[in-house]
Amino acid sequence: MNGTAIARAHPNIAFIKYWGNADERLRIPSNGSLSMNLDGLYTETRVTWFNDADRDRLILNGQPTTGPALDRVVRHVDQLRERLGLTGKVEVESRNNFPMGAGIASSASSFAALTVAAVSAAGLELPEHELSALARLGSGSASRSVPGGYVEWAAGGTHQSSFAFSIAGPDHWDIVDVVAVVSEVHKDVGSREGHAVASTSEFQRERVATATSRIDICRAALLDRDFSRLARVVEHDSDMMHAVMMTSTPPLFYWLPGSLELMSAVRRWRAEGLNVCYTLDAGPNVHCITTSEDADEVESRVRSLGCVHTTLRAGAGGPALVVG
Amino acid sequence: MNGTAIARAHPNIAFIKYWGNADERLRIPSNGSLSMNLDGLYTETRVTWFNDADRDRLILNGQPTTGPALDRVVRHVDQLRERLGLTGKVEVESRNNFPMGAGIASSASSFAALTVAAVSAAGLELPEHELSALARLGSGSASRSVPGGYVEWAAGGTHQSSFAFSIAGPDHWDIVDVVAVVSEVHKDVGSREGHAVASTSEFQRERVATATSRIDICRAALLDRDFSRLARVVEHDSDMMHAVMMTSTPPLFYWLPGSLELMSAVRRWRAEGLNVCYTLDAGPNVHCITTSEDADEVESRVRSLGCVHTTLRAGAGGPALVVG
């Protein structure tokens, strides 16, 4: 078998967070989550299958790469080989058009693009929900970077039932994510290790038990384009996840002083009438969620704060696609 | 009835926090708590009973005072009149020897001193646990400023059973509280209003349910003089309370950027070998709990941080006492 394909996938920002797995190996999450793909930012990945190669290879942002990054790619491709009955080795050439350490996790877009490219290069056509479930095996949130626009990942309980689907296309609403980068230092504890300790927090069980109701509120707010309802549930869910993180063993503090300054400013700006709310992933950078109408004002206010190094801006993005 | 008495009481810092009431009116807490009185800092209160006066009066730090401060004193003295069968009006002259806004709540020492002085001025002698329960009616944490040293407040379920008692005298262990003042601005939401919304957090129930086990660990660590065990449970309990605060409706964020900077520094210093941990009440100032051996080093490191305005320092203090 020989074949090649190029796929592009966007990173995504979760409005209702994924934190903790019911099944660590299969990355079946403890709770469902809800996100928006980030337009303009993408990982582009070319996968080529070789029958005659003796090992998988990875070229990351132009550099032949071994070590943990290659290991993770090999483990994911092993899953694809096993589940899809594929043989042969791959060469994976991947690059992001957004900088590392800019507050955007690249694992979601990377494993979504890798999965879609590898399947296409193998000459297979799979329905979106199967691609999403397969991408999930590489990185949980990658399942959400397969469908387009506003995306829900139902927790499911098995490999087949744990996939993401679009609840509204990117054109449904002009939500904008203004990312305030307060630190470009790589985080001490990555989200993979973090997921594994989520259950040590006394609060994780209640966070999980109540996630469905927050998803319902968030989905309805998105479908109704009701920003103030969206804002409350998005901030609350982010605060709940960080509360779990900070009370786990070991405690995980992703917030920096600048994160707290931003969060407080965002709440104040919203009280003053701007459509803006915050959400933070497993890192210190603050995603300021706003609408295209208020995005300039939000970005200018964000940049005026001394703790902000730089900003990045993205609207709602489309699905992962084969582009070559 | 005429009579006068002066009492002094120390503020206290909670190692296991009080947050939320099972009975708002009687201030019967949702969970037990554990604290240390703060030596050197005190409220001194003179109470004089007058048979012929037509109203209660309050002189606070030398100033005749009306409004909410007087109202709260009158409500507390009403409770004492009713429960102890007292008649007459009081003149209350109270002053703190520590500044407002220095990270030390004055309501605990104020209501402990007021209660002890008022009872003594009325010519009554009551056992410590009754004084503690009566002080609780004015401010929950005032119950813990009545006994001396290291103090536990058992939640109880009735007025009579909800009081604090000493688990070790001030000389048992030379714990020192180095208070890092990062803001002298008065907090937006006081702890009284905060207690009332504690139950709106999804996490409060679990915090309350697990408090007894944290009290057991904290009590044992104190009695064994085991600093590292103490440090872990004190920080965890503080983080849990703030997690509840930040996830309540409305969300209560007491941490400032400087608080987070201090918390992170304290964890780092402990990893480097210093005996130090942090705890924060319903405010941004960081109580750095240490031992007398490490207190100079901790205070000097704390003062070197740009976010710290000033520091205050206190060892374990004695009980509330009639001093005149």
pLDDT of residue A228: 97
**For residue B185, what pLDDT is reported?**
72
Mutation target for A interface from B183, B206, B254: give the one with most A CBs within 10 A. Answer: B206
Closest residue in chain B to residue A253, using alpha carbons only: B264
Decide the pairing of beta strands B33-37 and B43-50.
Answer: unpaired
Which uninterrupted H or E stretch holds B48? strand B43-50
Taking an 8 Å cut-off on Cβ atoms, the answer to whether B206 and A207 are in contact is no
Assigned token pair, A153: 């990942």
pLDDT at A149: 98
Domain A3-171 sits in CATH at 3.30.230.10
Q: What confidence score (pLDDT) does residue A128 get?
A: 98
Q: In this predicted structure, what is the pLDDT of residue A174?
A: 98
pLDDT in tens, A122-156: 999 999 999 999 999 999 999 999 999 999 999 99
- Chain segment A111-131, per-residue pLDDT in tens: 999 999 999 999 999 999 999
User: Which chain A residues contact residue B236 at CB under 8 A?
Assistant: 247, 251
A41, A104 contact by CB (below 8 A): yes
Asked if the Cβ–Cβ distance from B251 to A239 is below 8 Å, we say yes
Question: How far apart (Å, rounded) are the C-alpha atoms in residues B143 and B135?
Answer: 5
User: What pLDDT, on a 0 to 100 scale, did the predictor assign at position B194?
Assistant: 87
**pLDDT, position A188:** 63
* Mean pLDDT of all residues in A259-275: 97
Could you report the predicted ipTM of this complex, rounded to two decimals? Answer: 0.92
The pLDDT score that the predictor gives to residue B301 is 98
- The token duo for A312 is 């990045």
- Judged against a pLDDT cut of 80, whether residue A187 lies above it is answered with no
What is the rounded distance in angstroms from the CA atom of residue B44 to the CA atom of residue A224? 59
Q: Which of B77, B301, A222, B236 is nearest to A214 (CA)?
A: A222
3-state secondary structure of A63: strand
Retrieve residue A6's tokens.
């190029």
Q: What is the CATH number of domain B175-314?
A: 3.30.70.890
Which of A202, A210, A260 faces B260 most closely, judged by CB atoms? A260
**Tokens describing residue B215:** 């009290």
Report the mean per-residue pLDDT for chain A: 95
**What's the predicted TM-score (pTM) here?**
0.94
If chain B, 324 residues long, is cut into consecutive pieces of 10 residues, what is the mean pLDDT of each piece?
Answer: 91 98 96 97 97 95 95 97 96 92 84 98 97 98 98 96 98 97 74 88 98 98 98 98 97 96 97 98 95 98 94 97 95
The pLDDT tens digits of the residues spanning B78-132 come to: 999 999 999 999 999 999 998 876 678 899 999 999 999 999 999 999 999 999 9
How many CB atoms lie under 10 A from the CB of residue B249?
12
Q: In terms of C-beta density within 10 A (0-12 exposed, 13-18 middle, 19 or more buried), how is residue B77 classed?
A: buried
Whether B16 and B32 have beta carbons less than 8 Å apart is answered as: yes
Give yes or no for residue A221 having a pLDDT over 90. Answer: yes
- Going by C-beta distance under 8 Å and a sequence separation of 6 or more, which residues neighbour residue B276? B231, B266, B269, B270, B288, B289, B290, B294, B298
- Domain locations in chain B? 3-171, 175-314
CA angle centred on A24, ends A211 and A81, rounded to 5°? 120
Between B243, B257, B263, which is nearest A203 by CB?
B243
Residue-level pLDDT at B113? 98
Query: Where does chain A show beta strands of DSSP type E?
Result: 3-9, 12-16, 21-23, 28-29, 33-37, 43-50, 57-60, 63-65, 89-96, 150-153, 164-168, 175-181, 276-279, 286-291, 310-314, 321-322
Percent of chain A exceeding pLDDT 70 equals 98
